[in-house]
Amino acid sequence: MKIYVTYTKDSFTKEQIKSLENVGEVIFLEDFFELDKAPYLDDLEEKILLVDPDWYNWDISAEHLSKIKNLKGICLSTTAFDWIDLNYCRDNGIIVTNIPKYSTDSVAEYAVFLMMSLAKKFPIQIKNNYQVDYSLSMLTTEIRNKTVGIIGLGHIGNRIAEICNGFGMKVIYWNRRKKDTAYEYVDLDTLISKADFIVPAFVTNDETKKLITDEIINRMNNQFFVNIINNPNEIYNHNLMLQKAEEGIISYAFEKYDDNNMNDFNGNVMVTAPYAFYTKEAIDRLISIWCNNAISVIDGKTQNIL
């Protein structure tokens, strides 16, 4: 069995590499490649792929998958799986695994960091080169006794709720199903109207795409919107959100892969590179689970299957 790994070899310990070598021939593809020239396309032997989204521009299509001979399994390096054609894999007997819960704490903490950055108008401080300005335009906000509305109370959403609750914030949430929790469950309209801080923390899929409509965005007023979900345009109108921030109606935080110079955005807009998941602890967990997933696929005892 061939094991192709699209990631950097030095991210794995010697013990982890050895564990993979015990079940197959390991081939690291550390350099980015054109998809139609992927090294495994000419390999006719049985194989599994350990894939990272950056090598595929977050899109593994059915067209690409159909060109891979004797593909038995794909082990994603992410919790999200909307970047692979899962239906094609299921129809063709290709096992797909993901890595759940590895970055719960790191992403939740980053969301709270973004919340605090907006509350203290850190983006405007940066754009003003940290000049002292005690005018009303620089008046900041305390988060204690404020209400945070979390859209999607999964692992990450629940951890955000715990941290915010510890800060003395009131937590309300919307979820497809009510949870057994002390936090107040409300419908989406109520959450938008009551929350001072709004944090979407749900999985992106066909049911949740465009969940936050233009009508919802146009109802926001003097609120802080913090996005930690990849591809914001899939869940709401990103340009409209930026427009509202430029008009001073809302404050807005998000991650962006490129062109993330804060000076390019008007208003209280916090933009960072996508570092929410990127802590030593999270990456250590990711690599460990990733290796175990691959071994489980080869051994026929698959874990974290989608």
Task: Please give the span between the terminal C-alpha atoms of the chain, in angstroms, as a whole number.
Answer: 21
Contact 274, 230 (CB under 8 A): yes
Helix (H, G, I), strand (E, B) or coil at 84: strand
Percent of the chain whose pLDDT exceeds 90: 86
Q: Where do the domains of the chain lie?
A: 2-102+280-299, 104-272
- pLDDT tens per residue, range 102-151: 999 999 999 999 999 999 999 999 998 888 988 888 899 999 999 999 99
The pLDDT of residue 245 is 96
The pLDDT of residue 268 is 96
Please say if the pLDDT value at position 231 is more than 90: no
Helix (H, G, I), strand (E, B) or coil at 21: helix
The pLDDT of residue 262 is 81
The pLDDT of residue 291 is 97
Contact 28, 5 (CB under 8 A): yes
For the domain spanning 104-272, the CATH number is 3.40.50.720
Contact 23, 299 (CB under 8 A): yes
Please say if the pLDDT value at position 205 is more than 80: no
Contact 252, 244 (CB under 8 A): yes
Q: What DSSP assignment string belongs to 250-284?
A: EEEEEE-SS---GGGS-SSEEEE-S-TT--HHHHH
Calpha distance 193→190 (Å, rounded): 5
Contact 210, 235 (CB under 8 A): yes
The pLDDT of residue 207 is 78
In CATH, 2-102+280-299 is 3.40.50.720: yes
What tokens does 19 get? 């564990």
The pLDDT of residue 5 is 98
Calpha distance 262→305 (Å, rounded): 39
Rounded to the nearest angstrom, the gap between the alpha carbon of residue 64 and the centroid of all alpha carbons in its chain is 24
| Burial bucket for residue 138 (CB in 10 Å: 0-12, 13-18, 19+) | middle
